[in-house]
Amino acid sequence: MIQIEPIKAFNDNYIWAIINADKKTIWVIDPGDANPVLEFCIHHDYQLVGILVTHHHYDHCGGVKLLREKFNITVYGPKHDSIHATHTVQDAEIIFLPECHLHFKILFIPGHTLEHVAFYCEEENLLFCGDTLFSAGCGRIFEGTPQQMYHSLTKLANLPDNTKIYCGHEYTLPNLKFAKLVEPDNSDIDDYITKVTHYRNEGQPSLPSMLGLEKKVNPFLRAAIPAVIESAEHRIGKPIYNTVEVFATIREWKNNT
């Protein structure tokens, strides 16, 4: 049976572990730090058999080199020297994790970085999306353009609503506070704030989220919604005539909030 658990790293990162409890094996996603992974394996008597990497930022791949040195493992990731991948992935490629009996489709989603990818498992409705899509938010645009980022988010939004969203950071509550600024009358945001606040007060992660919920509360997936358009127009004091500009306006707003 497959389980997915977060391994906490740094201040707010999650290194996701895909666990086969029967075989005592794990794959991990975005190990920015090797030590929490090693401690997790020792504590549970798990064997690390592979790594998936979404992009080259250090807090997502900084532990890969050490883990490769300690174990003879496969590392799937986009092309970037700092990732230390054994296998460079391509858009729409299908990879198979034999210990988990899962197939993942590679989704090329540039914007946050130019080579950013997501790993999507249709069999179990799982999406590991790094720093592109967060619960109630999205990543900053460091290397790409707003148009690229919006296209990438649209690509993810077209997945089934029951897709579970496993992103790289625990940013949900701050993101929801910004979402409330954009859509003050959105009751779905209010309900989600209550739910996430309870989880965090209990020391539990807010993730995974569900894509169907994100379409109701995440302003970066709602650039075509009249209330979001109105807020963006009010922010810059002029009409906006396309969704990419709406998205770019609220992303810049978030940058300065």
Q: Specify the pLDDT at position 180.
A: 98
Residue entry with tokens 């309870």: 198
Q: Please give the average per-residue pLDDT across 4-32, as a whole number.
A: 97
What average pLDDT is seen over the chain? 97
Of 56, 80, 112, 116, which is the active-site residue? Answer: 112
Q: Specify the pLDDT at position 143.
A: 97
Of 30, 55, 84, 116, which is the active-site residue? Answer: 55
Tell me the percentage of the chain whose pLDDT exceeds 90. Answer: 98
For residue 213, the SS3 value is helix
199-223 per-position pLDDT tens digit: 999 999 999 999 999 999 999 999 9
CATH number at residue 235: 3.60.15.10
pLDDT above 90: residue 1: no
For residue 182, the SS3 value is helix
pTM above 0.95, yes or no: yes
25-40 per-position pLDDT tens digit: 999 999 999 999 999 9
Q: Is 116 among the residues known to form the active site?
A: no
What are 44's two structure tokens? 């549970």
Indicate the angle between helix axes 243-255 and 226-236, nearest 10 degrees: 60
Q: Specify the pLDDT at position 168.
A: 97
Spatial CB neighbours of 14, under 8 Å, sequence gap ≥ 6: 6, 7, 8, 166, 167, 168, 169, 170, 205, 207
Q: Where are the alpha helices (DSSP H) in the chain?
A: 34-44, 58-61, 64-70, 146-157, 172-182, 187-201, 211-217, 226-236, 243-255
CB atoms inside a 10 Å sphere around CB 256: 5
- Number of domains observed in the structure of the chain: 1
Q: Specify the pLDDT at position 90.
A: 96
Q: Is 112 among the residues known to form the active site?
A: yes
- CA angle, residues 211, 212, 218, in degrees to nearest 5: 70
Residue entry with tokens 């994100």: 214
98-154 per-position pLDDT tens digit: 999 999 999 999 999 999 999 999 999 999 999 999 999 999 999 999 999 999 999
d(CA 115, CA 237): 34
Of 30, 33, 56, 60, which is the active-site residue? Answer: 60
- Which residue range is the domain that position 99 belongs to? 2-255
Q: Specify the pLDDT at position 166.
A: 98
Of 57, 80, 84, 116, which is the active-site residue? Answer: 57
Tell me the percentage of the chain whose pLDDT exceeds 70. Answer: 100
Of 59, 80, 84, 116, which is the active-site residue? Answer: 59
Split at pLDDT 50, 70, 90, the class of 156 is very high
Beta bridge pairs of residue 29: 16, 52
- CA angle, residues 185, 223, 257, in degrees to nearest 5: 70
Split at pLDDT 50, 70, 90, the class of 12 is very high
Split at pLDDT 50, 70, 90, the class of 48 is very high
Instruction: Compute the half-sphere exposure of residue 157: CA atoms within 13 Å on the CB side of its CA.
Output: 21
Q: Is 57 among the residues known to form the active site?
A: yes
Q: Specify the pLDDT at position 201.
A: 97
